[in-house]
Amino acid sequence: MAASTRRRRRSRTALAVVALLAAATACTGGAPGPGSEGASPLSAPTSAPTSSLPSASTAAAAQTPLSTSPSDSPSRSASPVPPPRAHPFDVDTVLGGIRALAGIGPRDAASPASDRAAAYVAGQLRAAGYRVTLQPVAVPAGVSWGVRVPAGTTVDVVADPPGFDPTQPHVVVGAHLDTVPQSPGAEDNASGLMVMAEVARMTLQQPGALPVRFVAFGAEEARGGNGTLYAFGSRHFVAGLGASERRAVRGMVALDRVGVRAAAVPVCHVGGADTSLADAIRRAAVPVAATRACVNRASDHVWFERVGIPAVRLGSVPYAAYHSATDVPTVVDRRQLARSGAVLWAWIRSLR
């Protein structure tokens, strides 16, 4: 009797376990398999069933090594993150900036118009993501292209990328803010400023091997009757660099009159100076635009060269409206603006 009782009890226990298993399956909804027509990612449970009794399929999966499933392999499921890429150079944006600056009118360095131009350029660079500082620069009275101009104060607009350290290797790209007193300066030098701002935007979106410091220099135009006393902003900037900061500058490029139609982009070095930087820029530009070598000592690159920093000027194509009231936006050529931007961008991408 005792043995018979024990057998009946074991039988009832087995039936109860079967019933519990069936109930657990019913409660979880019996999720369809991969081949079922009712399968839907939205209907799949987001967490494990609350029942402590594993289903047969769960038990089988627990006995299977995880490495045998390709979908579970980290090397298969993790996709490499592509490097950031800049939005392409936008000539229409550059032209819009040229119109805005020329619309301010003549921008002598000591005038309120020059301050408005500095504020406009600073806003463009801040909007691109740079940390912008304004460095005051004193300018003397004098004669600018036949017109007497007063003494006053202008600024250098200095744009540094996030985390920038001026004692670590980097390059400087600059363009001057001011014009002669009678010119709205679309080509000289709104063209250089706006190409610089557009390439600055691209550089922050797609950083290269070396950081780039962008500077809009005040008071480049001469304030001496014989073409002397010029480039006050760049002279002030260079004088303010400590010894370690000067050593950190691997090269400097000044964008000055880069929009007049031409067959090639001038890449100019100071006469008698080392041409290695100009040569490197022209090599980098080969796939994107024609360039030509030239000698020039009449822009902001000169003060960098004088302290031993390799420096080059992009631009300086002769044109009839030079330093006149007719230097208006129709003077610039969109293809030349694009070429100039392409040359600068190619050089920045080539830096190592």
The domain locations on the chain are 91-350
pLDDT at res. 47? 34
Rounded CA-CA distance 206/271 in Å is 34
Asked if residue 30 has pLDDT above 50, the reply is no
CA atoms of 256 and 269, how far apart (whole Å)? 13
pLDDT for residue 68 is more than 70: no
3-state secondary structure (DSSP) of residue 339 = helix
Listing DSSP states for 14-81 in one string gives HHHHHHHHHHHHHHTT----TT-TT--TTTS-SS--S-SS--HHHHHHHTS-GGG-GGG-HHHHPPPP
Residue 59 has pLDDT above 60, yes or no: no
Query: What average pLDDT does this structure show over 112-139?
Result: 98
Q: What is the mean pLDDT of residues 296-304?
A: 96
Lowest mean pLDDT among 48-57, 164-173, 257-266: 48-57
* pLDDT class of 233 with cuts at 50, 70, 90: very high
The angle, 0 to 180 degrees and rounded to 10, between the axes of the packed helices 334-350 and 192-205 is: 40
pLDDT at residue 256 is higher than 80: yes
Contact criterion met (CB below 8 Å) for 261 and 336: yes
71 φψ region: left (φ > 0), alpha (ψ -120 to 50), beta (else): alpha
Q: What is the pLDDT of residue 77?
A: 53
Q: Is 186 exposed, middle or buried (0-12, 13-18, 19+ CB in 10 A)?
A: buried
Top-confidence residue, 217 or 46: 217
- The tokens 């070598």 sit on which residue? 293
Read off the pLDDT band of 314 (50, 70, 90). Answer: very high
Rg of the chain in Å (alpha carbons): 34
Average pLDDT for 321-329: 98
pLDDT of residue 264: 98
Q: What was the pLDDT predicted at 262?
A: 98
pLDDT in the model for residue 78: 65
Q: What is the pLDDT, as a whole number, of residue 9?
A: 44
**Residue 15: what pLDDT?**
35
Q: What is the DSSP letter of 330?
A: G
- Tell me which of 26-30, 39-43, 268-272 is least confident: 39-43
pLDDT band, residue 103 (cuts 50/70/90): very high
Which CATH number is correct for 91-350, 3.30.2320.20, 3.40.630.10, 1.10.510.10, 3.40.50.300?
3.40.630.10
- pLDDT of 126 > 70? The answer is yes
* More confident site: 290 or 25: 290
Say what percent of the chain tops pLDDT 90.
75
Distance CA 151, CA 110 (A): 6
Please check whether residue 140 is in contact with residue 204, taking contact to mean a CB–CB distance below 8 angstroms: no
> What value does the mean pLDDT of the chain take?
83
- Is the pLDDT at 85 greater than 50? The verdict is yes
Query: Cα separation of 342 and 91, whole Å?
Result: 11
The residue with greater pLDDT, 227 or 72, is 227
- Confidence grade of residue 79 (pLDDT, cut at 50, 70, 90): confident
Q: Is the peptide bond before 296 cis (omega within 30 degrees of 0)?
A: no
Q: What pLDDT, on a 0 to 100 scale, did the predictor assign at position 225?
A: 76
pLDDT band at residue 83 using 50, 70 and 90 as cut-offs: confident
Q: Is the pLDDT of residue 16 over 60?
A: no
Sign of CA dihedral 315, 318, 323, 328: negative
Predicted local confidence at residue 73, as pLDDT: 42
pLDDT for residue 119 is more than 80: yes
